[in-house]
Structure formats: structure tokens, C-alpha cells
Amino acid sequence: MTLNFPKKMGLALIISTLMACSHTEHIDVQNDKGEAVMGLDYRDFQTAADEAVASLIQSGRLNKADGSRYILAISRIINDTMQRIDTDQLIKKIRVALLNSNKVLVTTAVSATQTAEDNMAMQVRKLRASDEFKQSTVAKKGQLIAPDLSLSGKILQRNIKIDSDEQQVEYYFQLSLSDINTGLAVWEGETFIGKRGDDTSVSW
């Protein structure tokens, strides 16, 4: 005997079955036992950021003689990999670590593009012409602080075929710290992350 279920009931049964078979769990970022992937994941960005910050602080280039802090601007970080990644994923981790080190302050009023990273600093200055705002509370002229240093870099990817069944993917996180006044690089660092895996694994 053939049982005929209504179409809606059949679709609901399929969906409920798929949901019952699915499995989701939280990632323990402090002790992640998940398998490595050929592409870049959060662990790779954390490694690159940690190494860059450690090298930068150890170099002493962020130590000012008078004990004050440098003002750092973020320049362009170029993604030269096969993956569509947001370079802010790397930069944000570096910024947080540097700010927590009390070695630098990061300006958001200027960036490598024509617009500021945070436009609010300039937008509020337009209130100087408004009668609706108490002028003593509006940002004054000459208060924005220009940066001393600029951080720029590039993320590179190189794919190497080892044999018919295996491949090697190399990632290079390259960063440069420049003195804006002189235009000279005062620190440079590179973190290498290499992966080997099945030739069928994709890295994008």
C-alpha cells in the first residue's frame, strides 16, 4: 500500500529531518582542536597579529624619550591573496594590542583614502555654523592631532604543487611602520604561515 502525503507535509518532514541531523557547537578559541584549513582562518590572523605586535614592541621603535605616546595612522593593507578577506580582520587585532600596550594612540581622523576612517570628527566641526548648538561645546579649531607614524602592509599568497596529490600554500603577512615626518621605514616585520594538504583542498 502506498501512502500519499500532502506536498506541504512532505516538505515539512524533509526540513525537520535535516534539522535533526545538523550539528552546531561553539568554538573554544583558547583551545581550538578544529582541523586546519587551507585558507586563512581566525587563528592565522591572530598568529600574524601577535607576532607583529611582539616584534614591534620588542624593537623599541614605539618608545619615546619623553614617555609620551606616538600617534599612529593606518595606511593601506593590500590583500594579494586568492581570498576575499577584509584586511581589517588583521589590523583590528594589531590596533587593539597596541592600544592596550599604551605605546601608541590610533587616529581615526585621517586614513590612506581621501575620507577619514571616522567621519564624525569632521562632521561635528560643521556645527560651528549652527545656532542650534551651544558653541562652547563644539570642537574647536586646531584640536585634531596629526599622526607621527603610519602602518602599511600586504598579505601575499603563494600556491605550490608538491605532487599529484599534495599542495603547499604559503601566506606572508608583511607590515611596515613609517615615520611620517621623514618618510623612512623605522620597522618592518613579516609573519610566514605555511600549510600542506590534499591537492583537492581549495585555498579561497
Any idea where the domains of the chain sit in the sequence? 38-60+67-107+145-198
The answer to whether 98 touches 130, Cβ cutoff 8 Å, is no
How do the pLDDT tens digits run along the chain, 204 residues long?
555 545 555 666 666 665 556 677 777 667 777 778 888 998 999 999 999 999 999 999 999 989 999 999 999 999 999 988 889 889 999 999 999 999 999 999 988 876 778 888 888 999 998 999 999 999 999 999 999 999 999 999 999 998 888 999 999 999 999 999 999 999 999 999 999 988 777 766
Closest CA to 147 of 110, 186, 93: 110
- Beta-strand ranges (E) seen in the chain are 70-80, 104-106, 149-161, 166-179, 184-198
Task: Map residue 201 onto helix, strand or coil.
Answer: coil
Alpha-carbon dihedral sign for residues 129, 134, 136, 142: negative
Round to whole Å and give the CA distance between 204 and 202: 6
Residue 164: its pLDDT value, please? 82
Nearest to 57 by CA among 103, 10, 22, 7: 103
Are the beta carbons of 193 and 47 closer than 8 angstroms?
A: yes
In CATH terms, the superfamily for domain 38-60+67-107+145-198 is ABC-type transport auxiliary lipoprotein component (3.40.50.10610)
CB 189 within 8 A of CB 52: yes
Length of the chain: 204
Give the predicted TM-score (pTM) of the model: 0.78
Other C-beta atoms closer than 10 Å to the C-beta of 93 total 19
Which residue has cell 601608541?
104
What is the structure's pLDDT at 117? 81
Q: How far is residue 36 from each of residues 5, 99, 152, 168, 195, measured CA to CA in Å? A: 44, 30, 28, 13, 8
